[in-house]
């Protein structure tokens, strides 16, 4: 594969509402991101993805954009944004924004015009349909629960389509004028100095035929992901995005393409694909079915291992990936991927770090992952902020689960788990703000915080720093080297190698049993325990330079 600048980067994701608040309103802001650039530089980050900061009614925390070229005033101004771009650059960090163009906000001028005037040109920017025999145009369930169709206020038997919440009407990509507006907007931002995009829900932009399916839930609706995303024909939209926007700049793009099959990833990444790299969710959602919190699965480590191997091998054939275990939509990985509670601690956090960070691709760390942050357990549904937590709770009750069980499901899966404010110190409110944050804090902040970890050589933070340095010192192998499964003589262990001008062997024991392995010749360059004696201790993870 041709080498590109973005392959060597160390990615980091910021959830700006919860990173750092500088004007003490309890909500993070762009000046807060600027203030903490030194911290990111200290860690070794070189590519920053910042979740949406555009103007928005914030129904879905910025994934409902009302102006693609304005900044939400609570976050700051366009000048702040320019300063962030420049200050990041000075520290060797390039900035990716979030590109949210499957849908916008119902408060966006385009949508407001479209519902005000049926003859407006904006009518064709969205998807409107008449009901059929007094029923909805079809019985698909939206990602956040309820129908994908919402009645248009003031119009009889007319609906608009929304993949996510009803406040997030889908844009009609079949409309050439709409596509042009989006492409122009992308180009303007790239010219402004951002170096790329994380591309939200982009595999939803083409819709399948709006037909009814057999209902599969107590709500009478049907999960129709196969008709809602990765629909054939989408590659034409991808091609236009690539040729008329991305290819005009030396930019880096990462697609959020949940549910994309390996048979079609060549449309997503690689020579023919639209994006530089992709987040592969095939190994991040093993704990639930259809991303529905109450449909829990008893996943196994073996299954996790096979899913990671498969992802690596399939993407390697075609293009570049972006390994990750956490983001703002997922629970914290130490609870999701570590089955034994007593190891949901710094040992577990480091083991998972070793596992994902050495995979082939550009790794992305989610804020707080480098501290080993756990989930934030809540005792009542009222303590949750996220709209999806509430919707999943209701659906779970509707499916017959008790209040207690439903709360447990939400605690395990809620997106709020990852959205709590960044704990900078053990000061009140974790040094995030001087007032109570917008979302209930993670109670672990007095112990799990940056100040405690930054100078402690044994902390999770220092371990991440070491992993980053190792990658930077061994680019030929840890960036460009091939991924291969490695047979360590024990099927219970996750083991793979990276092969370039050197060879690194990665061995991870995700169990509380000791695991014997064949002896490995070489030097141990990373270890989440002090010693290693040819038997991996519970949740021990090592990297060997062979």
Catalytic residue numbers? Answer: 200, 256
Residues 6+ apart with CB under 8 A from 117: 123
Residue indicated by tokens 């919402």: 150
Q: How far is the CB of 279 from ligand NOJ (least distance, A)?
A: 10
280 lines the binding site for ligand NOJ (CB under 6 A): no
Q: Which is nearer to ligand NOJ, 98 or 287 (CB)?
A: 98
CB-based contacts of 402, cutoff 8 Å, min separation 6: none
Site for ligand NOJ in 86-115 (CB under 6 A): 100
Measured from the CB atom, the residue of 98 and 370 that comes closer to ligand NOJ is: 98
Which is closer to ligand NOJ, CB of 149 or CB of 483? Answer: 149
Contact flag: residue 60 with ligand NOJ (CB under 6 A) = yes
Six token digits for residue 187: 């180009």
User: With contacts defined by CB under 6 A, how many residues of the chain interact with ligand NOJ?
Assistant: 9
- Read off the DSSP letter of residue 537: P
Q: Which is nearer to ligand NOJ, 255 or 421 (CB)?
A: 255
In this chain, which of 106, 200, 326, 346 binds ligand NOJ, going by CB under 6 A? Answer: 200
Dihedral over Cα of 469, 464, 14, 279: its sign: positive
Choose between 389 and 506: whose C-beta lies nearer to ligand NOJ.
389
- Please report how close the Cβ of residue 256 comes to ligand NOJ at its closest, in angstroms: 6
Compute the distance between CA of residue 418 and CA of residue 388 in angstroms, rounded to an integer.
14
Compute the residue count for the chain: 546
Name the E strands within 400-522.
Answer: 482-485, 494-499, 503-508, 515-516
Minimal distance in Å, beta carbon 239 to ligand NOJ? 22
Whose Cβ is closer to ligand NOJ: residue 9's or residue 391's?
391
Among residues 284, 280, 308, which one has the least CA distance to residue 485? Answer: 308
Q: How far is the CB of 17 from ligand NOJ (least distance, A)?
A: 11
Per-residue binding letters, 229-268, with ligand NOJ (x by CB under 6 A): ---------------------------x------------
Return d(Cα 476, Cα 224) in angstroms, integer: 43
Compute the least distance from the CB of residue 164 to ligand NOJ, in Å. 4
Q: Contact letters (x/-) for ligand NOJ, 314-343, by CB under 6 A?
A: --------------xx--------------
Interatomic CA distance for residues 140 and 231, integer angstroms = 15
Residues 158-177, mask of contacts with ligand NOJ (x by CB under 6 A): ------x-------------
Contact, 62 vs 51, CB < 8 A? Answer: yes
For ligand NOJ, the nearest residue by Cβ is 63
For residue 262, the 8-state DSSP code is G
Binding ligand NOJ (rule: CB under 6 A), the pick from 43, 201, 505, 508 is: 201
Q: Any bridge partners for residue 103, and if so which?
A: 170
To the nearest whole angstrom, how small is the minimum distance from the Cβ of residue 391 to ligand NOJ? 12
Give the integer Cα–Cα distance in Å for 292 and 312: 25
Phi, psi of 337 (to 5 degrees): -105, 0
**Closer to ligand NOJ at the Cβ: 101 or 494?**
101
Query: What is the closest distance, in whole angstroms, from the C-beta atom of residue 374 to ligand NOJ in the complex?
Result: 20
Q: Please, are residues 288 and 413 in contact by the beta-carbon 8 Å criterion?
A: yes
Task: Give the side-chain half-sphere CA count within 13 A for 479.
Answer: 21
Angle ∠(498,499,501) on CA atoms, nearest 5: 130
Site for ligand NOJ in 454-493 (CB under 6 A): none
Q: Name the E strands within 116-176.
A: 128-130, 149-151, 158-161
Pick from 177, 135, 140, 133: nearest CA to 161: 140
Contact between 204 and ligand NOJ by CB under 6 A: the answer reads no
Q: Work out how close the CB of 328 gets to ligand NOJ at its nearest, in angstroms, rounded to a whole number.
A: 6
**Nearest residue (CB) to ligand NOJ, 326 versus 329:** 329
- Which residue from 6, 15, 54, 63 is in contact with ligand NOJ, where contact means CB under 6 A? 63
Spatial contact of 57 and 66, defined as CB atoms under 8 Å apart: yes
Task: Using the minimum distance from each CB to ligand NOJ, give the nearer residue, 165 or 351.
Answer: 165
CB of 527 to ligand NOJ, least distance (A): 34
Nearest approach in angstroms of CB 163 to ligand NOJ is 8
HEC-encoded secondary structure of 41-106: HHHCCCEEEECCCEECCCCCCCCCCCEEEEECCCCCCHHHHHHHHHHHHHCCCEEEEEECCCECCC
- Residue 151 in tokens: 């009645």
545 phi, psi to nearest 5 deg: -90, 110
First to last CA, the chain: 25
Phi and psi torsions of 178, nearest 5°: -65, -45
Nearer to ligand NOJ, 346 or 416 (CB): 416
What are φ and ψ of residue 233, in 5° steps? 105, -20
Which residues contact ligand NOJ (rule: CB under 6 A)? 60, 63, 100, 164, 200-201, 256, 328-329
């Amino acid at each position: 594969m041709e080498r590109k600048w973005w392959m060597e980067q160390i990615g980091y994701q910021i959830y700006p509402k919860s990173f750092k608040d500088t004007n003490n309103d309890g909500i993070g802001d762009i000046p807060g991101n600027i203030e903490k650039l030194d911290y990111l530089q200290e860690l070794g980050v070189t590519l920053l993805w910042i979740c949406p900061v555009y103007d928005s009614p914030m129904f879905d925390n910025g994934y409902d954009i009302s102006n693609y070229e304005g900044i939400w005033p609570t976050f700051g101004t366009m000048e702040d944004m320019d300063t962030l771009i420049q200050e990041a650059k000075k520290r060797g960090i390039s900035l990716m924004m979030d590109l949210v163009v499957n849908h916008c906000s119902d408060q966006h001028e385009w949508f407001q015009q479209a519902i005000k005037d049926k003859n407006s040109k904006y009518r064709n920017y969205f998807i409107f349909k008449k009901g059929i025999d007094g029923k909805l145009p079809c019985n698909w369930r939206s990602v956040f629960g309820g129908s994908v169709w919402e009645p248009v206020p003031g119009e009889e038997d007319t609906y608009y389509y929304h993949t996510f919440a009803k406040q997030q009407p889908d844009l009609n990509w079949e409309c050439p004028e709409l596509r042009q507006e989006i492409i122009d907007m992308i180009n303007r931002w790239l010219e402004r100095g951002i170096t790329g995009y994380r591309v939200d829900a982009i595999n939803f932009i083409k819709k399948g035929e709006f037909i009814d399916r057999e209902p599969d839930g107590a709500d009478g609706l049907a999960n129709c992901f196969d008709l809602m995303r990765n629909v054939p024909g989408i590659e034409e939209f991808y091609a236009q995005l690539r040729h008329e926007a991305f290819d005009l700049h030396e930019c880096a793009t990462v697609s959020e393409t949940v549910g994309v099959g390996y048979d079609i990833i060549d449309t997503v990444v690689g020579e023919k694909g639209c994006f530089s790299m992709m987040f592969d969710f095939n190994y991040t959602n093993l704990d639930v079915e259809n991303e529905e919190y109450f449909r829990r699965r008893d996943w196994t480590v073996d299954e996790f291992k096979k899913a990671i191997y498969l992802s690596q091998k399939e993407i390697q054939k075609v293009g570049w990936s972006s390994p990750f275990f956490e983001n703002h939509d997922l629970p914290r990985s130490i609870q999701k991927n570590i089955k034994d509670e007593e190891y949901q601690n710094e040992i577990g956090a480091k083991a998972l770090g070793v596992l994902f960070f050495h995979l082939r691709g550009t790794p992305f760390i989610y804020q707080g992952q480098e501290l080993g942050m756990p989930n934030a357990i809540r005792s009542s549904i009222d303590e949750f902020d996220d709209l999806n937590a509430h919707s999943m709770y209701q659906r779970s009750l509707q499916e017959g689960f008790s209040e207690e069980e439903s709360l447990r499901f939400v605690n395990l899966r809620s997106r709020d788990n990852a959205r709590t404010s960044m704990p900078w110190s053990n000061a009140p409110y974790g040094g995030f703000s001087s007032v109570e944050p917008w979302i209930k804090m993670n109670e672990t902040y007095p112990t799990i915080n940056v100040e405690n970890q930054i100078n402690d050589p044994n902390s999770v933070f220092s371990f991440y720093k070491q992993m980053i340095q190792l990658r930077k010192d061994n680019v030929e192998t840890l960036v460009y080297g091939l991924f291969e499964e490695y047979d360590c003589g024990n099927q219970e262990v996750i083991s793979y190698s990276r092969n370039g001008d050197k060879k690194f062997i990665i061995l991870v024991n995700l169990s509380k049993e000791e695991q014997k392995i064949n002896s490995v010749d070489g030097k141990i360059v990373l270890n989440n325990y002090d010693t290693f004696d040819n038997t991996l201790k519970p949740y021990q993870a090592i990297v060997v330079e062979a």
